[in-house]
Every structure is written in structure tokens, then in C-alpha cells.
Amino acid sequence: MEIIVASSIGVLTAGGVYLLLRLRTFPVILGLALLSYAVNVFLFASGRLATNLPPVLSPYGDASYTDPLPQALVLTAIVISFGMTAVLVMIGLGAFLEADSDRIDMEPEQDGADAANEGSA
């Protein structure tokens, strides 16, 4: 199970970072969304994994529970990352509508192959 969680975090991070490095707003926002998933799961996992031990107190005496604190932190993190994504989307949309371009860089990277690619696209 640990391998599954760790590898999921890794894959989400890698995908998120790759999209984050793209040149247009929309993929960057998607990348940030992926990265927020990764970070949230990462934080959650810092409480260590457990199955069938939800942190809801049982009326039947002694029972063990998983760590509730990371869960509480991640819960607000999920909501806040939604807020952040929303603001970013709005900024991206605004920039596109104002400038008619959704490039994120102020000037395109000076790359010969880059320009050639653009010509063929």
C-alpha cells in the first residue's frame, strides 16, 4: 500500500511539474491542480497509512485511530487550493481576454528550434 501511495504522489508531482513548465496558462493551471493533489496526499500520508481506523471516536471503549491532525490540515488545504485555482483561472482568463494571448512568459524563450516548431504548427 505504501508503494502505491508513494508512487501516486511521485507520478502526480512529475505530471504537475511538467505541465507547470508549459508555456500557456491552461496547462499551467492543470499542472497546479495536479501538484495540489500531490501535495495534499503527501501531507495526508505524513500521518502514516491505516485502513479502517477513521478518527471518529468509537463508543465501544478502547479502539485505535489513525492520526487526525494531517487530515484536518489537508481538509482546509483542499478547500484553499480550490480558492487558489479559482483565482488563477480568473487571472488567466483575464489575461487572455485583455491581451488575446494566453502565453505565460513575457517574451518567448529565444530558442531556434522553438521558432521553427511554431512555423510548422
Partner 1 sequence: MGLGGTLLLLIAVMPFAGALLPGLMIRAGRNVCAISTAVPTFLALTMLVVLAPSVMQGNVVQAQIEWLPQLGLSASFFLDGLGLLFAGMILGVGLLITLYARFYLSGEDPMGQFYTYLLLFQGAMLGIVLSDNILLLLIFWELTSLSSFLLIGFWKHLPEGRQGARMALAVTGAGGLAMIGGMLILGNIVGSYNLTDILAAGDQIRASEWYLPALILILLGAFTKSAQFPFHFWLPHAMAAPTPVSAYLHSATMVKAGVFLLARMWPALAGTDAWFYIVSTTGLVTMVLGALIALFKDDLKALLAFSTVSHLGLLTMLLGFGTQAAAVAAVFHIINHLTFKAALFMTAGIVDHETHTRDIKRLGGLRHLMPITFLIGTAAALSMAGIPLFNGFLSKELMLEEASHTDWFGSAYAVPVMATIGALLSVAYSLRFISHVFLGPVRDDYPHKPHDPPFGMWAAPALLVAMVVIIGVAPFLAEGIVTAAANAVTGADLHPHLKIWHGFTPALWMSVIAVAGGIILLLLHKPLDKLWIAAPRPEAKAIFDRLIAGLVAASRAITEIGHNGAISRYLAIFTASSVALGWVAYSSSGLSAPTRELLPISPVIFVGWIMLIVATVSVVTMHHHRFRALVLIGIIGLSISAGFAYLSAPDLALTQISVETVTIMLLLLALHFMPKITPKESSAGLKLRDGVIALGAGGGVAALAYAFLMRDIETISDYHLANSYEGGGGTNVVNVILVDFRGYDTFGEIIVLGIAGLVIYAIMHALLDGPASRRLKNTDYSYDRSRDRHPMMMVVATRVMMPIAIVVGAYIFLRGHNQPGGGFVAGLVIAIALLMQYMASGFAWTQERQRMEYHTMIGLGVVIAGLTGVGSWLFGRPFLTSDFTYIHLPPIEEFEVATAMLFDLGVFLTVLGGVMLMLYSLSRIARFAGETVNVEPMDYDPADRVPDEEER
At closest approach, how far in Å is the CB of 74 from partner 1? Answer: 6
Which of 42, 60, 61, 62 binds partner 1 (CB under 8 A)? It is: 42
> Could you count the other beta carbons within 10 Å of the beta carbon of residue 27?
16
Single-letter code of the amino acid located at 65: Y
Residue 2 touching partner 1 (CB under 8 A): yes
At closest approach, how far in Å is the CB of 60 from partner 1? Answer: 12
Closest CA to 32 of 89, 103, 74, 75: 89
Residue linked to cell 480558492? 83
At closest approach, how far in Å is the CB of 46 from partner 1? Answer: 7
Residues numbered 101-120 forming contacts with partner 1, rule: CB under 8 A: 102, 104-107, 109, 111, 113-114, 116-118
Residue linked to cell 518567448? 108
Which of 38, 60, 61, 62 binds partner 1 (CB under 8 A)? It is: 38
d(CA 98, CA 92): 10
Is 16:29 a contact under the CB 8 Å cutoff?
no
Is 30:18 a contact under the CB 8 Å cutoff?
no
At closest approach, how far in Å is the CB of 95 from partner 1? Answer: 9
Residues numbered 52-91 forming contacts with partner 1, rule: CB under 8 A: 52-57, 59, 65-69, 71-72, 74-76, 78-80, 82-87, 89-91
